[in-house]
Each structure stands twice: as C-alpha cells, then as structure tokens.
Amino acid sequence: MSIPTRPEVVVVTGASADVGRATARAFAQRGAHVGLIARGEDGLEAARREVEAAGGRALVLAADVADASQVELAAAAVEEELGPIDIWVNNAMASVFSPVKELRPEEIRRVTEVTYLGTVYGTMAALRRMLPRDHGAIVQVGSALAHRAIPLQAAYCGAKHAIQGFTESLRSELLHDGSHVHLTMVQLPALNTPQFGWVKTRLPRHPQPVPPIYQPELAAEAIVWAADHNRPEVYVGAPTTLAILANKLVPGLLDRYLARTNYEAQQTDAPVDPDRPHNLWHPVPGDHGAHGSFDDRSRATSPQWWLTTHRGWLAAGAAAVATAGVVGLRKKE
C-alpha cells in the first residue's frame, strides 16, 4: 500500500514485548504514529518510550484482545487521537507447552481467545474503519505452525491454523467486493522472544524455540514489508519454507520426524520451575523487551528473506542473462 502524505497510523497488538515490540519500533523508525495494544502496562510504557525515541508518536492502550469490546474501544481511541488507521497488525498470542492429555479446557479456551479470536476481533475493528475508506492494510502475524503443527503446542497451533482459514475466507470476500483493503499473513520461523520465559509450561525443562532461531527484528522487518506489498502471504526464513513444503509433500513422514525430535527440540537442558509466573491469565510484571534469552544462538538475517524481497531484481537479472545468451547464439549463427 502507498504511504499517505500525513504520518501513517499503525496499530500493533501484543506491542508490549517480543515481535510486537520490535514491530512498533520498526514502524516508528519511518515516522509512524503507533497505537500500542497489550495488557502489560510496564511493557507498554517502555514501548512508548522506544517509539518516541525512534521518531514516531505513541498511544498506549491497555487492553485484552480476547475481549472484542476492549479492542473496539482501543481502535476508536486510536482514530480519535492519532487519525485514520492505515495499518493494523494482529500479533498478540498466548500458548501452553503441554501434551494434549494434560491440557485443561480453560487453557485451550484462553489460548484460542487470545491468539485466534484476538486476531478476528482486531481484523473486524480494522475493517469497520478501512472498508468505508477503501484503504488500509491488515497484517496477520502467523507462523510456520499455521501450516504445520508440532507436538506440545496443540492449542497454539490450532489457533494459528484457525487464523489461516479465517484470513483465506476474508481475502476471498475482499476480492469479491473489489476492495482495496490489503490483507496479508506473515509466516514466521522460531524467534528469540521473551515468551519462552513466561509461557505456561508442563515440560520438565525450560522451553525454547526450535532451532534455528532468529531475532525478532527480522520478523518486524517482514511485517513492515508485508504491509507495503500486495502479497497475500509471505514466508520468513528457510525453516518456515521447508516446513510448509514438507507438510504438503510428505506429511506422514513429517509426523514421525516431529514425534521423534520435537520433544527434545523444544526444551533446553536446564530444569524449569513448575511454579514460575506465566502470562496466560495475567501479564507478568516488568518490562521484558523484544529479545528472549537466546541471543547467542540467534540469527539476525535470512538469505531466504532477502531472496523473497528481491525476487523482482532476480527475475530482471535472469531475463537479462537469458537475453544476452540469445543474442550471443544469434551472433554465432
């Protein structure tokens, strides 16, 4: 989508930490006015300071995205204070690390309400404002797990799959209506975020993202890029692309591979306190920032993502090489 002459207005849910925090900062670096939605007030205030330091303007909105009325009130406050919303990023999420046989119904409900319904409520609030103007972009923050689920995160994987289905249905409706509202989903790889330090878990050892691990700034870069480019879906990182492709080609083989490897791959060697604070029902106090505890194992860049964002140049280069080859052959003739 084109950037308006006035400062663009962006809403980011889950903005107090992890990918949301990095995304708010990335939009601020290009002068955006950013509505910050999350539950944790400590993190929200820190995010506000970062946005303003980066050159943007911030509006703090303490809200639980699992409550549709709170999301609607937050959207109205953004438009009243900052102006018409140009970009809405649905990023808020919750998870529980646990085998399904040990999950409790209320835990599954909460993960679904935050991760899936929070995205639905955010999308609907954005559409109420964007459709009459026939302008705007909605970015759903997805995951490779939206296409290929893994063990021990059934509630979260189910919610991400639901977002994928909801988004595909809505995209067809927007196409039917000839709408210029842009809808995209960004499928992310494993990231070094604070969620592994506060997620509710029943695992014997400390949860971790499945390596290889990437820094949240790469995800933020992809989200900002996706908001500006009219692609229905983008994959970030080679592991994301390979997981989605493998699930299409050999899903049964992948089931067995994940059963054999992903219990260990999602845990470090360190024991975890089963009574540690978690954020499923209430935010964990304090400012947790964008990064988790895996900086020394995380990658800041991805060759796959570079290729994704430069495929126009690559196509032009390939065409030029092909043309030169044809010209050379003709000269030889």
The reply to whether 174 falls in a domain is yes
Domain holding 97, by residue range, is: 9-301
The answer to the question of residue 283 being in a domain is yes
Residue 211 lies in a domain: yes
- The CATH number assigned to the domain holding 109 equals 3.40.50.720
User: pLDDT of the chain along its 333 residues, tens only?
Assistant: 554 578 999 999 999 999 999 999 999 999 999 999 999 999 999 999 999 999 999 999 999 999 999 999 999 999 999 999 999 999 999 999 999 999 999 999 999 999 999 999 999 999 999 999 999 999 999 999 999 999 999 999 999 999 999 999 999 999 999 999 999 999 999 999 999 999 999 999 999 999 999 999 999 999 999 999 999 999 999 999 999 999 999 999 999 999 999 999 999 999 999 789 999 999 999 999 999 999 999 999 999 999 999 975 555 544 444 444 444 445 555
- β-partners of residue 234 are 186
Number of domains in the chain: 1
Look at residue 222 and tell me if it is in a domain. Answer: yes
Is 28 contained in some domain? yes
Polymer length of the chain: 333
38 in a structural domain: yes
Residue 239 lies in a domain: yes
Catalytic residue list = 156
Whether 188 and 179 have beta carbons less than 8 Å apart is answered as no
> In what side-by-side order are the strands of the sheet with 137-143?
57-62, 33-38, 9-13, 87-90, 137-143, 182-188, 233-235
Residue 265 lies inside a defined structural domain of this protein: yes
SS3 content of the chain, % helix, strand, coil (to 5): 50, 15, 30
pLDDT score, position 260: 98
